[in-house]
Amino acid sequence: MTAFTRPARFSEAEWAARVQLAACYRIFAHQGWAELIYNHISLKVPDQEGHFLINPFGLHYSEVTASNLVKVDIQGNVVGHSDWPINPAGFTFHGAIHATLPEAHCVMHVHTTPTLAVCCTEEGLSYTNFYAAQLYGQVAYHEFEGITVHADEGARILASSQGKPVLLLRNHGPVVIGRSLAQAFNLMWLVQRACEVQVASQALGALRPIPVPVLEKCVRDSLNFNPNFGAGEDSFAAMQRLIDRIDPGYRA
């Protein structure tokens, strides 16, 4: 793998966060979760209170690197130099979530076809498959208000989340909130898989319900949330190794 040197303007902690977040953008691109130049993943800068990293607006996820990620403050103002702006819609609710929830280390938002399709249904997520069962009791909803460019909607989105790690924006797409980037990634993976299976199985007819006690047991047993199994760190690391083999330029 090509060696990349940390630029002197970044601390070791910030650079490590930048490398991990850039890897995540490449993973999303590899998974087919990118949306042209839109959508966003934001991450706290670990050694700088009130500062966050987000993708440069104008670049595809496959073009995001550790050094071109944009640092912003809680209002979405660019901190330091950046060759790129940020998407105004990108920090409307991200900033509100980061500012209010101390556990919101990483916030992700996508518009993948299956997740958006489920967000467009009246029922929303159906707890009728293996993946959805692990999200039982972890999902909240926010009514559609249009494109998220108005700052006042951020507070309403935050209120709608009710402290839950998954928020489905009606008619729009999912938002996940993680205590770490790896946990957020695994939550998003679960949401994606749950929605893929729901969309496929609904076409076959009525969905078979899962009893509530079994759903509750699935949440307790899910390794995605269990710190004894890395709370998703191990599976994110596996995906990062995959990206290192095929697309290591994100480390620049």
CA neighbor of 184 nearest in space, from 114, 110, 105: 105
Give the pLDDT confidence score for residue 3 in this predicted structure.
Answer: 73
Three-class SS of 165-223 = CEEEECCCEEEEEECCHHHHHHHHHHHHHHHHHHHHHHCCCCCCCCCHHHHHHHHHHCH
| pLDDT (tens place) for every residue of the chain, 252 residues total | 667 889 999 999 999 999 999 999 999 999 999 999 999 999 999 999 999 999 999 999 999 999 999 999 998 999 999 999 999 877 888 999 999 998 899 999 999 999 999 999 999 999 999 999 999 999 999 999 999 888 889 889 999 999 999 999 999 999 999 999 999 999 999 999 999 999 999 999 999 999 999 999 999 988 776 767 676 899 999 999 999 999 999 999
Residue 199 structural domain: 12-251
* Residue 78 β-bridge partners: 72
Q: Is residue 6 part of a domain?
A: no
Q: Specify the pLDDT at position 125.
A: 98
Within a domain: 87: yes
User: Is 101 part of a structural domain of the chain?
Assistant: yes
> 95 lies in a domain?
yes
- Any domain includes 7: no
- Strand 70-72 with 166-169, pairing: unpaired
Amino acid 225: pLDDT: 66
Return the DSSP state at 7.
P
Whole-Å CA distances, 118 to 121, 124, 131, 190: 5, 5, 14, 14
Q: How many other C-beta atoms can be found within 10 angstroms of the C-beta atom of residue 197? A: 18
5 within domain boundaries: no
- Residue 9 CA to residue 81 CA, distance in Å, equals 11
Pairwise CA distance, residues 18 & 109, whole Å: 18
Going along the chain, which residue ranges are E strands?
Answer: 40-44, 52-54, 70-72, 106-109, 139-142, 166-169, 173-178
Residue 56 domain-assigned?
yes
**Domain count for the chain:** 1
pLDDT at 1: 60
Phi, psi of 42, rounded to the nearest 5 degrees? -115, 150
The CATH number covering residue 179 comes to 3.40.225.10
On the CB side of 175, how many CA atoms lie within 13 Å of its CA? 33
pLDDT at residue 92 in the model: 82
- Whether 1 maps to a domain, the answer reads no
Q: Which pairs with CB-CB distance under 8 Å and at least 24 residues apart come from 205-214?
A: 207/126, 207/128, 207/129, 208/128, 209/127, 209/128, 210/127, 210/128, 210/133, 212/136, 214/133
Q: Are strands 40-44 and 106-109 parallel, antiparallel or unpaired?
A: antiparallel
183 vs 236: CA distance, rounded Å: 8
Pairing mode of beta strands 139-142, 166-169? parallel
pLDDT of residue 89: 78
